[in-house]
Amino acid sequence: MSQNKEWVYSEKIKDHFIHPRNILEDEASYKYDGKGIVGNIKCGDQMMMVIKVDKEKNIITDCKWKTYGCASAIASTSLLSEIVIGMSLDKAYHISPKDIAEELGGLPEHKIHCSVLGDKALRSAIDDYYMKNGMRDKIQKEKSRIVCQCMNVTDHDIENAVLEGARTFLELQEHTKLGTVCGQCKDEAEKLLKNYVEKHFNK
């Protein structure tokens, strides 16, 4: 790497990327209580996370993972796998990409979406545990709402576009194609864009 090029990540990210913790080495023999897989290998990013749970206390006692992802995805999931061990399922369920980025000392804005893989895989693993243990009432399904009827774009699509770097309505259109037909969704889309930027980036 050129010495003239500045490392844009924190030393903590660098450490977790070079020395990732809790990687799932032997999937066949690891006895897990919950398993979550998100992403699509065909798109270049996929994350699997497995957890062991103290069933009396509902506390995560171990967490392993493996991924096909970038440096940010590896570092953020490595850190996530450390901090959830010893944590209650309820608390771990609500960890956000923003929480992970703060623990890492910050992520470049265009890399925040990489940390989403880890927290979604964890939530999926906890859901799997809840399903297997008769606790379906604990599962919180995120219901999406269509904002652009013409292009079938939802509020979740807009949030993902923001996490991937969209900051203006034009950039939102480039990511999602919303508002490119009748344009009636523009006001609501701009409001959601602003809300999601504030939610994830405090702006």
The residues annotated as belonging to the active site are 43, 114
Q: Are strands 34-40 and 45-54 parallel, antiparallel or unpaired?
A: antiparallel
Tokens of 85: 């061990």
Amino acid at 164: E
Residue 142 CA to residue 56 CA, distance in Å, equals: 27
Closest CA to 117 of 94, 87, 138, 97: 97
Q: What is the dihedral of CA 19, 64, 162, 154, to 10 degrees?
A: 160
Burial classification of residue 10, based on how many CB atoms lie within 10 Å of its CB (0-12 exposed, 13-18 middle, 19 or more buried): middle
* CB-CB contact of 38 with 122 (8 Å): no
Give the number of other Cβ atoms within 10 Å of residue 6's Cβ.
7
